[in-house]
Amino acid sequence: MIGKTFTTVLGGRELSIETGKLAKLVSGSVTVRYGDTLLLVTAQASDTQSKLDFLPLTVEFEERHYAVGKIPGSFQRREGRPGEKAILSARITDRQIRPLFPKGYRHETQVIITVLSADGQNAPDVLGPIGAAAALSVSDIPWAGPTACVRVGQIDGQYVVNPTTEQLTRSRMDLVVAGTREAVMMVECGAQTVSEEELVSAIEFAHREMQGVIDLIERMQAEVGREKFNFLVEQDLAHDYVPELTEKALAGGLKDALLTHSKKERGQKTKALRDSIIAGYVPDPEAEGAAELVTSLKNAYYKVEKQELRRLILEDDLRADGRNSRTVRPIWIEARPLPTAHGSAIFTRGETQVLGVTTLGTERDEILIDDLSAENGDKFLLHYNFPPYSTGEVKRMGGQSRREIGHGNLAKRAIRAVLPSFEEFPYVIRVVGEVLESNGSSSMATVCAGTLSLMDAGVPLKAPVAGVAMGLVMEGDKYRVLTDILGLEDALGDMDFKVCGSAEGVTALQMDIKVGGITPQIMREALAQAREGRLHILGKMAEVLAAPRSELSPTAPRILSMKINPELIGKVIGPGGKQVRELEAMGAQVTIEEDGTVRIFSASGEKAEAVKARIEEVTQEAKVGQEYEGTVVKVAPFGAFVNLFPGQDGMLHISQISEDRIESVDEVLKVGDKLKVKIVNVDDRGKIDLIRPELEGKVAPREPRAPRGGDRGSRPPRDGDRGPRRDFGERGPRPERPEGQRTETQPRSDSPRAERPATAPAPQEGGQSSDTPAAPVFPRRED
């Protein structure tokens, strides 16, 4: 038997993990199946230790379009770089497994998740972390798992484990939680403004539900897991210097240097102190072994700094810039700094500064999606840019990094919850967060700057949202939660907990733990403290922009929406698109949906109104009882044809023109005359009967036309006696036609056919005429 399968039930559906069947040359290989979604997950480590001073772990999430029966939409018709969804899915796995590799482990390790089948209902992103945990557990790679990952939705007040794609559209939250047996490791959430207590309850529910998956992986590891290999931990020479360096650094003023307010000045002071201490150990930097000793001393000094900062926070409630644990850095805001942008704002919090810019576009600007989801496009875009100058560094610039995509997605989820629907505000919206300065919490500053730029553009948000990054320092049972963390506190702390929301509740959340996990009590305390900080920031934002501007920015384009009868869409488009091209030549873009919704997009409000008026003219519908100022376009013996609006004429019968008897219509009306008329009847063919309004009740109404194809009823006698009607019932035998000759009814004398011979000479043998060549005989035209 090839392979071994282990199963459990998760969310009422079977989850199965199989190993030993596919990719057997790799250290750890499993397939994960949930419904008809199937993933192959592999884990492999290099044989040799890397010289890098960090964990060289990479996680790849590979989407294969054949998994959903699609051919990629790229030019080469094959998968290229991972899309945004794949990158975000890879980050979920990475953040879950990274903290559990042993300290000092430096073997290059790669986890590859390949989506082989996707059923469109069971999302593969939360199955990837389960597969990674299983592959690492059965492999020979040292790892302190297992972990598990589940998604939680809230539908009709009830929590649902791993909701289907359809269920997720009805859920108030999209919460992804990963954890070990004992604690939560990672949280990712987007929500429709839920309370902090609802979030904690949902996280606790997720942690309980994932225990069955952890049991399954532990059973796999016990039955088929390989023995973990031993790895060499390089001797940490820095550790031996820490006690001595601590004494020297504190004596040299390390505490005062660390409590310096400015990031750059603090770095200069601590570096100067470090270099002076190291100089006492290494008087000659060029001596043999001096470089290795300097490196060890620098590592030791960094540990001294970290220990002192953590001590100051835990014991004295003092942070690197002099704040206590609950204080938010000083904030200043400027609205509309960019003169031509549709909406813009600068949000500065301490030494973190973000320029938020909003641009409004049409449906043609929505981003096209070519991944495994059923979605084809997205009408809300948020892009986060983190250039090297924001941290005072020089680095190579290329495409977006995974960090930029992840931070941008968090801000996007936070703001999306308060956007108006496309029906309410029919614009495609793009928000860009340009990080100009960064000293921690730049993603949360992007939420604030982006919200302000949207309000500056006049986008009718449901409520302003803000974000704040929380930290944690924990030693044993003692801990302290930090509000609005610095970049230094992110590096030395044990948690990065970002919370976004309005005054009513949370709209997005992201949590990464660097320790073994945190308890629900710490989570509740962090959320309560985050709410306090968020409300403070929202208050500062309200001092500049309390609500969206009442009108769109003067530089923003205008979109007008209208509804027409879907049967009249062809009139707006015109033959070959002629009509719609003429409309767009007036200075606007026009989009038409199948339900008759028409949207007009123009940089000029006047041009948009002009196009709308033209469409209203083209799509007018005649209704009984409506009155028009019409123009006579044709006069006939029985009445006059009057143009009511472009493309629509009605007939004013001679009996409906005057109270007196009229012998000839042209005695009263001529082409070009204008008169007021009223519609009295529209038949099933769209033919319109008119009357002059002042004659209603004074003249006898005209008899309605007979319906098409129906009983025409009795007709009034025509003028003159036409004689008895001929009976064509019994025709008798048809007279024989002379051979080679074609008979034809004698044409009228005024017809062009009268000059043509009624018969054509019979051809001679061999196909030649006995006389002159005969003119071709054409079939009778049925007029």
Instruction: Summarize the annotated binding site as residue ranges.
Output: 490, 496
Contacts of 150 (CB under 8 A, 6+ apart): 10, 11, 126, 161, 162, 176, 177, 206, 209, 210, 213
Indicate the residue type of 478. K
Distance CA 21, CA 5 (A): 10
Indicate the residue type of 540. K
Residues of the binding site for Mg(2+): 490, 496
The single residue listed with the structure tokens 């002159």 is 772
Helix 520-544, helix 196-209: angle, nearest 10: 140
162: left (phi over 0), alpha (psi -120 to 50) or beta: left
772 DSSP 8-state letter: S
Q: Closest by alpha carbon to 229, among 143, 110, 131? A: 143
Classified as helix, coil or strand, 114 is strand
Distance CA 454, CA 413 (A): 15
Contacts of 116 (CB under 8 A, 6+ apart): 31, 38, 39, 40, 64, 67
Distance CA 704, CA 692 (A): 16
Q: Which two tokens stand for residue 229?
A: 């290999």
**Cis before 146? omega within 30:** yes
Distance CA 108, CA 56 (A): 5
Classified as helix, coil or strand, 427 is coil
Helix (H) or strand (E) holding 380: strand 380-385
Q: Closest by alpha carbon to 541, among 430, 450, 431? A: 450
What is the DSSP annotation of 6-72? EEEEETTEEEEEEESSS-TTSSEEEEEEETTEEEEEEEEEEEEE-S-SS--EEEEEEE-GGGGT---
Distance CA 425, CA 342 (A): 15
Partner residues linked to 679 by β-bridges: 690
Partner residues linked to 590 by β-bridges: 600
Classified as helix, coil or strand, 291 is helix
Helix (H) or strand (E) holding 435: strand 428-437
Helix 605-618, helix 578-585: angle, nearest 10: 150
Q: Which two tokens stand for residue 570?
A: 């062809």
Partner residues linked to 600 by β-bridges: 560, 590
User: What is the b/e burial string over 293-313, where b = at least 16 CB atoms within 10 angstroms of the residue's CB?
Assistant: bbebbebbbbbbbeebbbebb
Distance CA 143, CA 107 (A): 12
Classified as helix, coil or strand, 215 is helix
CB neighbours (10 Å) of residue 252?
Answer: 15
Distance CA 508, CA 446 (A): 13
- At 21, give phi and psi (nearest 5°): -110, -45
HSE-CB at 6 with a 13 A cutoff on CA atoms is: 23
HSE-CB at 616 with a 13 A cutoff on CA atoms is: 9
